[in-house]
């Protein structure tokens, strides 16, 4: 069982829909991450939250909007997505916040598989 | 700048034989090095990491990795592979001198263990 929980596991949405992905961890980790992963490829970093503040945005299109309501929760709000946005979206957390040169590994959830019709 | 190379797209090995997955890296400073495994329809699972000290690092599920500074390599090894080790393996590096450094992943190596 993973310690990072992502919901839903699967999501199918049209290009005009609005939906949200949710990620939760109760390990007391101070950094949380969103990644996008295409099949058989490495994860691509999208956003990093450190101590509940957005610290890195990898030039992600505005149709993706992250939110960190508290230290345990991370959301990714989706609106007007394109077919090329279909992918596995992974959430991860690490003990140290970014900016501390962390050697701590990231712990990943099992992802949300997103399909855009 | 930092980069990671996994030269093999796929590694095929018979069950019971030794398994090696290769990784070489390039960073401007000293690296933190990680191995992750991804099973089908799952997220990435942390296997092991190198920070400092002993060049041979032991991790989960019987895996180990050898850090070689002169060859800038961090190869993953398992003495006796299991069919259940069939998965996608990622090497990753972070420059410890860059406090805001991102985790840089290699392209991944698919391991296929045949009975």
Written as tens digits, the pLDDT of chain B (115 aa) is: 788 999 999 999 999 999 999 999 998 878 899 999 999 999 999 999 999 888 999 999 999 999 999 999 999 999 999 999 999 999 999 887 776 668 899 999 999 999 9
Closest CA relative to residue B75, chosen from B5, B14, B16 = B5
Indicate which of B103, B104, B106, B112 best probes the interface with A, i.e. most A CBs within 10 Å of its own CB: B103
- The pLDDT value recorded for residue B109 is 98
| Interface contact A103-B99, CB threshold 8 A | no
Closest CA relative to residue B92, chosen from B104, B76, B109 = B104
- The pLDDT value recorded for residue B102 is 83
Contacts 24+ apart (CB under 8 A), A52-56: A55/A97, A55/A98, A55/A99, A55/B100, A56/A98, A56/B100, A56/B102
- The pLDDT value recorded for residue B100 is 67
Task: State chain A's mean pLDDT as an integer.
Answer: 93
A 68-87 residues inside an 8 A Cβ radius of B: none
Distance CA B69, CA B57 (A): 14
- The pLDDT value recorded for residue A102 is 77
Distance CA A55, CA B8 (A): 34
- Count Cβ atoms below 10 Å from residue B115 Cβ, excluding itself: 7
For residue A42, the chain B residues in CB contact (below 8 A) are 90, 105-108
Task: Please name every residue paired with B77 in a beta bridge, in sequence order, or none if there are none.
Answer: B20, B64
- The pLDDT value recorded for residue B31 is 87
| Interface contact B99-A40, CB threshold 8 A | no
* Helix, coil or strand: residue B65: strand
| Interface contact B43-A2, CB threshold 8 A | yes
Q: What mean pLDDT comes out for the span A23-27?
A: 95
Compute the 3-state secondary structure of chain B and give helix, strand, coil in percent, each to the nearest 5.
Answer: 5, 50, 45
| Interface contact B43-A4, CB threshold 8 A | yes
Structure tokens given for A34: 């969103």
Indicate which of A1, A101, A114 best probes the interface with B, i.e. most B CBs within 10 Å of its own CB: A101
| Interface contact B99-A99, CB threshold 8 A | yes
Structure tokens given for B98: 């860059």
- The pLDDT value recorded for residue B73 is 96
């Amino acid at each position: 069982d993973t310690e990072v929980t992502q919901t839903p596991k699967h999501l199918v949405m049209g290009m005009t829909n609005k939906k949200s992905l949710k990620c939760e961890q109760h390990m007391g980790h101070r950094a949380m991450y969103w990644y996008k992963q295409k099949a058989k490829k490495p994860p691509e970093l999208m956003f990093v939250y450190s101590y509940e503040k957005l610290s890195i945005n990898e030039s992600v299109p505005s149709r993706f909007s992250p939110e960190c309501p508290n230290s345990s929760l991370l959301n990714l709000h989706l609106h007007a997505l394109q077919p090329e946005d279909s992918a596995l979206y992974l959430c991860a957390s690490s003990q140290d916040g970014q900016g501390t040169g962390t050697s701590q590994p990231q712990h990943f959830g099992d992802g949300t598989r997103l399909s855009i019709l | 700048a930092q980069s990671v190379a996994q030269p093999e797209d796929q590694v095929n090995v018979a069950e019971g034989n030794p398994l090696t997955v290769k990784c070489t890296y390039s960073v401007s400073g000293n690296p933190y090095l990680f191995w992750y495994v991804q099973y089908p329809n799952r997220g990435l699972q942390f296997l092991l990491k190198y920070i400092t000290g002993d060049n041979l690092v032991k991790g989960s599920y019987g895996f180990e990795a050898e850090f070689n500074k002169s060859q800038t390599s961090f190869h993953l090894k398992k003495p006796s592979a299991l069919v259940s080790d069939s998965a996608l393996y990622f090497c990753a590096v972070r420059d410890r001198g860059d406090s805001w450094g991102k985790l840089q992943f290699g392209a991944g190596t698919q391991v296929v263990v045949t009975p």
